[in-house]
Amino acid sequence: MTDAPPAPSPPAHPALAEPDRDVGRVWIGGITTAMLGLYMAFFTPIQVLLPIQLEAIDEDGKVAAFGLVTGVGALVAVVANPLAGALSDRTTGRFGRRHPWTLGGLAVGAVALCLLGTQTTVLGVLLFWCLAQAALNAGYASLNAGIPDHVPVRQRAVVSGWIGFPQALGLVVGAVIVTMLVTGTAAGYAVIGLAAAAMALPFVLSTPDPPLPRAARPPFTRKALLETFWVSPRAHPDFAWAWFTRFLVMLGNATGTLYLLYFLDDAVHHPNPEEGVLVLTLLYTGGVVATAVAGGVVSDRIGRRKILVFASSVVIAAAALILVFWHTWPAAIAAAAIMGAGFGVYLSVDQALITQVLPAAADRAKDLGIINIASTVPQVLGPALAAPIIAGFGGYAGLYAVAAAVTLLGGILVWPIRSVA
């Protein structure tokens, strides 16, 4: 008499199952539009509105005030993103796990931005920018989890490309809106905030979000709260390598781009540095848009991620090296276009790779929030590293040499990942 075969394990609940059906154009278009609105809300205040507002409040202390507001805001984002993701992972109800957080976060973020535009003190700006960062990051955490929730592995790089290029395009679109179409800082904040919420609405209303039954909800204990900001590298080494790859590439990017205005003024001696930054930003954005989706298509078709992440990091590093040896306007133009092309491929393929090394389906949004720390912290560390390098370690040549080395190291660290080709 032979033993009976073991009973098959029950299938995972739809909210936690690995997706196996391709998403269509409506789904991709909806999440791309929502992401564009979010990136407009994230970047337009930092690049345009906050500097203008703080200069009007305190012209002499504007630099210190801007550093304080953006630095504290970045720290709020570091905490809010994984925490909101963990709460989203555990949300039950008939409206699903993700959509309530996406719409709620963007709605609160829109209100915070509207109120931010009315502030006349540095403290008021700081408080409402932090509220906006917390709310918008809650929306981002849940929206970003849509990729591993709904997109099969064979389609993830191309979909990641579609949601990746709005990261560069959002700044350009937002800047055009608040400088050419809207008059006044308060009106600019309001239009950007309301546009972000409105652009997420079609995706929330037209796409499925399977509800999580209470029986499948992971407990949210004190230990689970502490683990919101930690994934063991020993237990999940591939996740750790992916985190460090993202951190170093983003650190190299932040270190090399935050002082671009001063580079054009001090090293290139451009007659109009502000206009030069705009031109380079447009070239960089064009490069990202041109390669993000195309890089994703190639990655999905060949079934390879690591080689493209490494190759794109090499391209980004090469662009930085151009600025090490040639401090001229044509060199800056070439570097901007090349860096944008490399970064576009990196955004799509690395995001797809990351979704394949997430430790558990029940913690997708939380774990993506931890990955987001690798993107946010470099925005704080970049200026801290760049200033002393420029002052005492080779000037702008030294700065871009460090940016190239850090980026290349990030690309090299993708190779120890074993579970992804």
> Is residue 1's pLDDT more than 50?
no
> Is residue 9's pLDDT more than 50?
no
> Is residue 144's pLDDT more than 60?
yes
* Residue % of the chain over a pLDDT of 90: 64
Pick from 51-60, 216-225, 299-308, 353-362 the range whose average pLDDT is largest.
299-308
The CATH code belonging to domain 230-421 is 1.20.1250.20
Which of these CATH numbers, 3.40.50.2300, 3.30.413.10, 1.10.10.10, 1.20.1250.20, describes 22-229? 1.20.1250.20
Q: Are 351 and 164 in contact (CB under 8 A)?
A: yes
Average pLDDT, the chain: 90
Pick from 80-84, 132-136, 374-378 the range whose average pLDDT is largest.
132-136
Q: What is the pLDDT of residue 183?
A: 85
Same CATH topology for 22-229 and 230-421? yes
Give the C-alpha separation, 379 to 377, whole Å.
5
* pLDDT confidence band for 227 (50 / 70 / 90): low
Please give the full DSSP string across 112-177, using - where no structure is assigned. Answer: HHHHHTT--SHHHHHHHHHHHHHHHHHHHHHHHTHHHHH--GGGHHHHHHHHHTHHHHHHHHHHHI
More confident residue, 403 or 273: 403
Domain boundaries in the chain?
22-229, 230-421
Q: What is the pLDDT of residues 61-99, one digit of tens each?
A: 887 888 789 889 988 999 999 999 999 998 988 889 999
More confident residue, 7 or 421: 421
